[in-house]
């Protein structure tokens, strides 16, 4: 079977750990040239070194998706190093779980800035390059929290459903030269939980992860599947979760 990923240039945000790290490694193993972005420079450099040690190609930059200029800088890094950009995986995200009437306004703003505006900034940085090339692929990492609405996840789910809506609108607006895919992971074993400030919620999430969490590599495989399709095939939505998850 032809490897349709080999040689493609792919940006991954939130690439220092978890799903982002697993995705970067998997793409590099399939021959992609990966551009890693996240806030933790040391971890990014470690991941780049790991990829290069295994024969892959990678560069990185410390970025904060809350700053649109950082996403532009990351896209420029890809183009300057590899001459083009084939896909961007908007993976960076955060979660603060609490009742809405607890009024964690600071947590709301952080989720909106990272989960929603960060994705839009990534799209805004990549789309001009994609238009110039007349090809490109946007992959937005969403969440099953936006599919099954439950207490304590209201604002988090809201940011994820906003990304789902934007992704579908873009798909309808596109002439097909720029494809878009939404991937909604369920419970995944990552250090994402460390961002949660509410200790009770953190304990609950950790328990669920221990009981049924799937590996971040499972989500990376979904990204591989979406990117590996021929140019005339668009994978719109992928939901991937533990078999035991309700």
**CA 133 to chain centroid:** 22
The three-state secondary structure class of 68 is helix
Sign of CA pseudo-dihedral 125, 227, 22, 167: positive
Helix (H) or strand (E) holding 101: none
CB of 225 within 8 A of CB of 239?
no
Q: Among all residues, which ones are annotated catalytic?
A: 156
Alpha-carbon distances of 11 from 84, 116, 146, 238, rounded to whole Å: 11, 18, 24, 19
Rounded to an integer, what distance in angstroms lies between the CA atom of residue 43 and that of residue 224?
A: 23
CB of 244 within 8 A of CB of 47?
no
């Amino acid at each position: 079977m032809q490897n349709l990923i080999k040689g493609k240039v792919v940006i991954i945000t939130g690439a220092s750990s978890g799903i982002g790290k697993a995705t970067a490694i998997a793409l590099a193993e399939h021959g992609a040239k990966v551009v890693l972005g996240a806030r933790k420079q040391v971890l990014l450099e470690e991941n780049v070194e790991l990829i290069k040690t295994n024969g892959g190609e990678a560069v990185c930059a410390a970025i904060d998706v809350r700053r649109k200029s950082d996403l532009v800088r990351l896209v420029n890094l890809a183009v300057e190093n590899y001459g083009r950009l084939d896909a961007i995986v908007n993976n960076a995200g955060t979660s603060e779980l609490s009742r809405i009437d607890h009024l964690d306004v600071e947590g709301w703003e952080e989720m909106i800035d990272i989960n929603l505006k960060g994705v839009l900034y990534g799209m805004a940085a990549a789309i001009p390059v994609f238009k110039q090339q007349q090809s490109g692929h946007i992959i937005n990492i969403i969440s099953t929290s936006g599919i099954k609405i439950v207490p304590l996840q209201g604002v988090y789910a809201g940011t994820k459903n906003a990304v789902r809506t934007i992704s579908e609108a873009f798909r309808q607006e596109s002439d097909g030269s720029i494809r878009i895919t939404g991937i909604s992971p369920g419970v995944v074993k990552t250090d994402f939980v460390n961002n949660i400030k509410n200790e009770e919620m953190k304990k609950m999430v950790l328990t669920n992860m221990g009981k049924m969490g799937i590996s971040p590599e499972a989500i990376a495989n979904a990204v591989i599947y979406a990117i590996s399709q021929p140019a005339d095939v668009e994978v719109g939505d992928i939901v991937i979760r533990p078999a035991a998850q309700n």
